[in-house]
A = this chain, B = another copy of it.
């Protein structure tokens, strides 16, 4: 899987409020599918589907443990997003700095354009 592809999957996975809530709860402790499903008003199968999405995105992993399959958050994947975000945030900021510098250097007669 390419990096940009995974990034898409991570963003897409977190676009769903239920999945975001599951991730939030998993920061506190690992949990089984049934435990995760309990607070929501949907079937266990639906939650299982959500987990498959999170797993494909690399956000969670599951281990076998007797009949249970505890879900574990892989928080490192967050870095993928923050790296992307910070890169372009910085680029955008640099642009404003250039703009500010430009405005500061402008001779007075240009002020009329500022409007």
Contact = CB atoms under 8 A, between A and B. Distances in A.
Interface residues of A, number: 30
B85 A27 contact: no
A89 interface: yes
A23 to B, nearest CB: 7
Number of copies: 2
A85 B88 contact: no
Contact of A93 (B29, B75, B86): B75
Contacts of A17: 4, 8
B92 A85 contact: no
A20 interface: yes
Interface of A: 4, 7-9, 11-12, 14-17, 20, 23-24, 27-29, 73, 75, 78, 81-82, 84-86, 88-89, 91-93, 95
